[in-house]
Structure 1
Amino acid sequence: MVVFNFYTLLTGISGINLIFIALYSLLNKERRKSLTAFFLSFFCIFLSINLLYDILTLNNVFGFYLRFLDEFSLLLAFPCLYFYVLLLTNNRLAFEKRYLFHCIPAVFFLVIWVFPPESFLLWNRNLPMSLLYRHLNHIQFLFYIILIFSTLRKNDKVSKELISTIENGNLKWIKELLIFLFILFLVWILDNAGLINGTVMAIPLLLFSYWLGQHAINQKDIYYNVSKDFKIDSVMPEQNRYRNSKLTEANKRGYVASIEEFMSTEKPYLNNELTLTSMANKLDLKPIHLSQVLNEEFKENFYAFINRYRIIESQRLLKDIRYRNYSIQAIAFEAGFNSMSTFNKAFKEIVGKAPSIYQKED
């Protein structure tokens, strides 16, 4: 008899939503590398397979080739999420042999528990191997939580050195995703221990599938406009990062004058997709040299430097009678911002008051 209840209904809808996210990601590659779309899609597919296993289990559908769906799907889902984040936070990512190590848990699982040689039949029934079998997913999950958080932390440091708009680059939603997955992880453990009924997660799972779709579909590659020839690690904020630079003090002073003139005449900050490499190309400078001059001479990273000019421009527009009928949001966008929250925060930090108050002052 087919078990059809509230839990299987919501779980099934969640799985279908994840499949749609996967298909959309594969088909829509606007401002997204093919590999980025590939890993996002397979992360969603493996999660949906895991949900399918739950439905099959409730309907007492078992079999030799189905029993590995639960653990095996998660052993592949977490590496896919990691590589998705890794691709989002890199302007170039070449395959390296060390990446194959991420496949070891899945291969290990297949060889020992799903298709075990005769010599392993008794071995995988002893206590240490039994414990490893039960907790392999747990260990791997915690490992990738730490690894992804580390990648995101690194990106938080480097993004402001490379791009002028970080709304698409802070990846806050992925941090929230990890928190939600960690909650699921705890529920999973408590459910396996018989302490709670895991079916209570049906509604959160459904909401999660819609939430994931909204963010994953809207997320573009962060460094899409950053030249693939530029190694972003070279501008990672750290002591002595420019130690190999051959710029002299005279070079720096000359570049300062060129940059100030360029900002005044060309107004590149009005482009909300401006990047360090695109601006360096227009100035006929090496990106690393532009980064060095901004940090050492202007005492600002690229993001702060560009947004300071945007705030100055917005101050001018707020007082310009020709823009009297413009909303503050429209003025913010005219000045090069693409987010009101970022504009308000930057305006208050630099000017010391809200833009609405500044506009009303004589």
Structure 2
Amino acid sequence: MDKINLLATTSVLTAFISLFLSLLLLTVKTEHKLSNRLFAFSLLLTAVDVIGNLTDFYEIPLAVRVFLSSFVFLQLPTFYLYVLSVCYFDFKLKPKHLIHIVPFVFTNLILLPRFYMVDLISKISFLKNSSRMFEIQLNHISLHIQIIGYLIAAFILIRRTKKIYLENYTGPNMESLNWLFQFTVALSTFYSVALFKNIFKFSSYPELSELLKVGLLIFELVIIFWYLYKALNNPGIFRNVDSKLKSVRNIISEDKSTGGVLVVEKEYSEELLKLKQYMLEEKPYLNPSLTIQDMSKEIKIPVRDLSVLINHKLNQHFYDFVNTYRIECAMDILKDLSKSKLTVLEILYEVGFNSKSSFNTAFKKHTGYTPTEYRKSL
């Protein structure tokens, strides 16, 4: 009885919070409406899935119950589209994205002949023998394939976006990519446990499946709270790169395949000198949102050439290249006795950072010390 009460309580709480957060995402004023709508839809799907766990406490037609359970086939596709919308600021939903609903449609179509279109007694018999039904087995297999495929695709997308971001941007959104990676890891863990739950469900240990179901609901609740905490504390965290940007490796590969030459060595030397002079004299790194496009306009070097110069010839990501100048500037301030009253937070903002964690990470990577340790060592 306690287990049933815990399951019901956790389900109701998870469903309520999912619906509340989805309503918040749909009504809040923001320029990132698509991302919010996609995540709101994902939360609505979660609520529908969770409410399905409460069928022991209220009457619901069998056909409706099964149809609602098939919504799980929309959860990962929606999450993947959400990741796309977060990674690329110019992402838009297009007709081609309707392909992501194919598994959901297929799942319900194969259930038509022997479940949806038969009488109630036949429906009950079908569900009682679900472990031996071809349709159910096929749906379980396709669901697990879908889960693995979408999660791998999400990890690849985040990795590719992170690489492009490092090569073209210096703003705070690196933290959003790191968070998105962590969020995807959490979802991967959730679905891995769900896989074991399903295995035990059709084994001789169904009680383990029930225990895992309760654990998954609690874990799902923790993930939702985590997202809410991140969203409220970092309202501008969810936008990143231009989807048209290519990595330097692809640029060089394309150039070699077409037989072109990007820039001769003499021009590289001239542009490198021009770049370093610009960094020292104009100090563009003090701009916390500096991009390689901004710099390209100022020093009159095409973005393509400048990207190859920094990321390939200097063997540094644009992100690290700019942060090196910021750290050097911060070191000079820390050495200046007349500025000894400045706090680390004031210094990081002054040199172009807008995140204490990214400043500490970059500073330690460059010097081997944290800013506080470095100041004490002087």
Q: TM-score, normalised by structure 1?
A: 0.84
**Whole-angstrom distance in 2 between the partners of 1:242 and 1:215:** 41
Go from structure 1 to structure 2 and tell me whether the alpha carbon gap of 1:263 and 1:245 turns closer, same or farther (over 3 Å shift). same
Structure 1 equivalent of residue 176 of structure 2: 168
Report the alpha carbon displacement of residue 324 of structure 1 after superposing the two structures with TM: 1.1
Structure 1 equivalent of residue 13 of structure 2: 13
Report the alpha carbon displacement of residue 246 of structure 1 after superposing the two structures with TM: 3.8
Structure 2 equivalent of residue 132 of structure 1: 138
1:291-336 CA-to-partner distances (Å, cap 9, x unmatched) read 0111244331101101101110110111123321122233223222
Go from structure 1 to structure 2 and tell me whether the alpha carbon gap of 1:216 and 1:83 turns closer, same or farther (over 3 Å shift). farther
Structure 2 equivalent of residue 141 of structure 1: 147
Go from structure 1 to structure 2 and tell me whether the alpha carbon gap of 1:160 and 1:29 turns closer, same or farther (over 3 Å shift). farther
Go from structure 1 to structure 2 and tell me whether the alpha carbon gap of 1:119 and 1:181 turns closer, same or farther (over 3 Å shift). closer
Paired residue secondary structure (2:288): coil
**Whole-angstrom distance in 2 between the partners of 1:284 and 1:31:** 31
Report the alpha carbon displacement of residue 44 of structure 1 after superposing the two structures with TM: 1.0
1:141-193 CA-to-partner distances (Å, cap 9, x unmatched) read 22212221222222232221122142223323323332332244235315523
Residue 233, structure 1, aligned to residue 259, structure 2: no
When the two structures are aligned, how many residues end up with a matched partner? 352
**Whole-angstrom distance in 2 between the partners of 1:308 and 1:149:** 28
Residue 260, structure 1, aligned to residue 279, structure 2: no
Residue 55, structure 1, aligned to residue 47, structure 2: no
Which sits farther off after the overlay, 135-144 or 210-219? Answer: 210-219
1:275-298 CA-to-partner distances (Å, cap 9, x unmatched) read 222332333433222201112443
**Whole-angstrom distance in 1 between the partners of 2:286 and 2:312:** 24
Which of 178, 188, 210 pairs up with 2:225?
A: 210
Gaps of 5+ in 1: none
**Whole-angstrom distance in 2 between the partners of 1:297 and 1:145:** 34
**Whole-angstrom distance in 2 between the partners of 1:184 and 1:47:** 16
**Whole-angstrom distance in 2 between the partners of 1:158 and 1:345:** 20
Q: How does 1:92-131 map to 2 (within 5 A)?
A: 92-93=90-91, 98-113=96-111, 115-116=112-113, 127-131=133-137
Report the alpha carbon displacement of residue 82 of structure 1 after superposing the two structures with TM: 0.4
Structure 2 equivalent of residue 185 of structure 1: 194
Q: How does 1:254-333 map to 2 (within 5 A)?
A: 254-333=270-349
Go from structure 1 to structure 2 and tell me whether the alpha carbon gap of 1:332 and 1:147 turns closer, same or farther (over 3 Å shift). same
Structure 1 equivalent of residue 238 of structure 2: 221
| Paired letter, 1:259 | L
Paired residue secondary structure (1:232): coil
Go from structure 1 to structure 2 and tell me whether the alpha carbon gap of 1:199 and 1:299 turns closer, same or farther (over 3 Å shift). closer
Go from structure 1 to structure 2 and tell me whether the alpha carbon gap of 1:111 and 1:26 turns closer, same or farther (over 3 Å shift). same
Paired residue secondary structure (2:66): coil
Asked if 2 retains the 8 angstrom alpha-carbon contact of 1:314 and 1:332, the reply is yes
Greater percentage in helix: 2
Report the alpha carbon displacement of residue 130 of structure 1 after superposing the two structures with TM: 3.5
Asked if 1 retains the 8 angstrom alpha-carbon contact of 2:248 and 2:312, the reply is no
Asked if 2 retains the 8 angstrom alpha-carbon contact of 1:163 and 1:274, the reply is yes
| Paired letter, 1:269 | Y
Asked if 1 retains the 8 angstrom alpha-carbon contact of 2:248 and 2:311, the reply is no
Structure 1 equivalent of residue 66 of structure 2: 67
RMSD of Structure 2 on Structure 1 (CA): 3.1
Structure 1 equivalent of residue 28 of structure 2: 28
Report the alpha carbon displacement of residue 36 of structure 1 after superposing the two structures with TM: 1.9
Residue 83, structure 1, aligned to residue 99, structure 2: no
Structure 2 equivalent of residue 352 of structure 1: 368
Q: TM-score, normalised by structure 2?
A: 0.81
Asked if 1 retains the 8 angstrom alpha-carbon contact of 2:360 and 2:371, the reply is yes
Paired residue secondary structure (2:315): coil
**Whole-angstrom distance in 2 between the partners of 1:59 and 1:119:** 21
**Whole-angstrom distance in 1 between the partners of 2:194 and 2:264:** 54
Asked if 2 retains the 8 angstrom alpha-carbon contact of 1:31 and 1:221, the reply is no
Asked if 2 retains the 8 angstrom alpha-carbon contact of 1:46 and 1:74, the reply is yes
Report the alpha carbon displacement of residue 57 of structure 1 after superposing the two structures with TM: 4.1
Calculate percent identity across the aligned residue pairs. Answer: 24
**Whole-angstrom distance in 1 between the partners of 2:370 and 2:304:** 35
Asked if 2 retains the 8 angstrom alpha-carbon contact of 1:112 and 1:120, the reply is no
Asked if 2 retains the 8 angstrom alpha-carbon contact of 1:277 and 1:287, the reply is yes
**Whole-angstrom distance in 2 between the partners of 1:31 and 1:336:** 24
Asked if 2 retains the 8 angstrom alpha-carbon contact of 1:157 and 1:236, the reply is no
Go from structure 1 to structure 2 and tell me whether the alpha carbon gap of 1:127 and 1:205 turns closer, same or farther (over 3 Å shift). closer
Report the alpha carbon displacement of residue 4 of structure 1 after superposing the two structures with TM: 8.3
**Whole-angstrom distance in 2 between the partners of 1:23 and 1:242:** 48
